[in-house]
Each structure stands twice: as structure tokens, then as C-alpha cells.
Amino acid sequence: MLLDQETENVIVSELCQHLGRSILPLTGSDGPGRPAGAVGTAFFYSELVGATDDGEIAHEWLLTADALTDRVYGEIGLRPSVTEPAEGADEPIALPGFADQWLHLPELGVAAMPTGGLHGYADDRGWYWRTQQVTEAMAAPADAVDRIGATPGSAFVLALGVGDDGARPLEAVVERVARDGDEVRVAAELPAGYVGAPVFAVEAGPDGGPALRCLGLLLPARANGHPVATFDRIRPALAGGQGGAPF
């Protein structure tokens, strides 16, 4: 769906408000203090896996592009808005053996980290996470992905950019998304820090108003745009997936 500029601006504001705490900055390098060889964004995804009399059972993952995770050392950045107390964000999470912390899905270009280790890390240091997640209900089902056609529609990318001073500001950009053969693609090449970020589109909801869907995550640029790893393929690949070494 191609939206008018006013509606696009409203959605950008809502994304920052309601999902700004779903994303974290990632860097990968050859070791502590070494120049970053990979810089991107990861986001929390809550996968519904079942239900009991007490409620729904969800499995939480940190998702990003696999191309960011092949380094021997990495850091997951923390932001004061996602830790309680805010001082928990004073130092990033340092991860030697970075590549071993992830479930790798190279056929999709996706890497996924079960978040149990992240919560244990916080517990050990006396703080807890205050995150938002891309939920199962928001992640685009297969029929929504199939409705992405060759005609460009509005797309929204929520990411942590890279400032001149190395800061990682929260950013949301409006682009265009369309199908190119078997791929769903964002039509423009985006700045440093955006790879791995969630990509959203809008379709008509049951009430006729716009319904926001997370299509998937942004992969590295290729041919003047970015392929999107879509949730119709991510979901089955995660089902029963195991990966990530404890840290």
C-alpha cells in the first residue's frame, strides 16, 4: 500500500514510540578495541509457540542479518531506555566467540539468538530489560507477504544509525518496497547501521484502516537496494531451532 506523506509521518512517529525499545545496535570486529568490521541493528521478536490454561507461551529471539555475526568478537550495545535502572546500559555486552552465539540461517541471510543468555546477563549485574518486541501478531503472515507486488508501496525501516561521533541514534525512514521476482526488496540503499533492522509495511486492516505488519529484516545492499528476509520464511526456520552458546 502506498500512503500519503501525512500518514507516513504518523506511522514513523508511532514506530518510534511503540517499538523504539525493540532494537539494539550490533558491532562485530576482530577483537576488543579493534575497528568495527560489521555495524548493524538487531531486534527482539516474540514467537508464539503454544498456550496453556495460564496463557500463551512465547519464545523470544534477537534477530539480525547473518552477515553481521561472522566475526570472532562482537558487542551488543545497550541504551538507557532498555535497561532498568538506566545505568545498566553503561557498558555494552561483550561477546568473544561472537559467531558461536547465534543460530545461523544462511539460506535466509538471518541469524537468531535465543534471549535467555541476555536475561541472565542482566540478572547477574542487577538490572533487567525494558524492551518492546515485534510480536507474532505483528509479524507478516505468508498471505501478507504474498500481497507485496511489483508496484512499490510504503515501507518503514526502524534502525540505529551511525553518527559522526560513533553514536547510534534511533532513526525511522520511509522508503518503497516491492517484489522483484522471488525477492521482496527495499528500493534504496540505506546508511550504515541499518542492516538487520526490521522492515514494516501497511495493508488494509479488517476495519478498513491501515494495519502495520513487520515484513522481516533488512539484508545487506545488493543492486541498488536491500533484499528483505521475510517472516513467511523466518517462522518455519526458527521452529524448533536451537543455537547460541551461553555467555
61 bridge partner residues: 45, 114
In the predicted model, what is the mean pLDDT of residues 241-246?
59
In the predicted model, what is the mean pLDDT of residues 98-102?
95
pLDDT value for 33:
86
pTM of the model: 0.94
* 132 pLDDT above the threshold of 80: yes
Show the cell assigned to 12: 514513523
Domains annotated on the chain, with CATH: 5-238 (2.40.10.120)
What distances in angstroms separate CA 222 from CA 12, 183, 186, 188, 194, one per listed residue? 25, 12, 10, 10, 14
Q: Which of 116, 110, 145, 121 is nearest to 40 (CA)?
A: 110
* 37 pLDDT above the threshold of 90: no
* 224 pLDDT above the threshold of 90: no
In the predicted model, what is the mean pLDDT of residues 190-205?
93
% of residues, the chain, pLDDT over 70: 95
Show the cell assigned to 39: 555495524
* 239 pLDDT above the threshold of 70: yes
pLDDT value for 210:
75
Confidence band of 47 (pLDDT split at 50, 70, 90):
confident
pLDDT tens, residue by residue, 54-67: 767 779 999 999 99
* 247 pLDDT above the threshold of 70: no
Pairwise pLDDT comparison (27 vs 164), residue with the higher score: 27
